[in-house]
Structure 1
Amino acid sequence: MSVESMPRVGGHISLIGLLTGRAGVVPTAMLMARQQRLQGLIVGSRRHQLDPVRGIDAIQGHPVIDRSFPLTELADAFRLQVAGGHFGKIVVEC
């Protein structure tokens, strides 16, 4: 990771999965100097993803959509999400 690609001071870096193996260089001095947080997130295997997808396909399942907003009403979509008054997905159409 180059200095130019590091997040701003106080930024958050999430490492998702292990695609490059178990070892790697972590610029700890740079992380500390920029007061950044590094968090590792472990995800399942490809099979762990494909098994539920096959199950959803088998029952012809579809997501529940609560409301759909045009992009111009993005703030309203966020307000609905923050209020927690929805059941299912909130869609923003571009």
Structure 2
Amino acid sequence: MSERDRYIKAWGDRRARLFMLCVAVLGFAFTVRSSHWIAGLCFIGAMVGAYGYYEFRCPRCHQRFLPVLRAQIWFDNGRCQGCGLRVNLLPPDEGAGSA
């Protein structure tokens, strides 16, 4: 697997984690008044999704993409807090410099 493919897979994983979190939060919001059991399951799913989103590792520096300290968290500012890598940025092609 090339470095570029690894980055593409990592960014896809990040999008999937965010999608799961949003679906669980919306599921909780829409079911909280009608079914407490389903709302409870959606709440647990939202907590698991938030944890998974928080645990996402940067494909470049392998540190958490979001900071550890709560005072430093901005909701998804689009950069890795460790190395400054922007979201969805791919490394240059390995063969792009050769003529």
Tell me if TM exceeds 0.5. Answer: no
Larger-gyration structure (1/2): 1
More helix by share: 2
Q: Taking structure 1 as the reference length, what is the TM-score of the superposition?
A: 0.21
More strand by share: 1
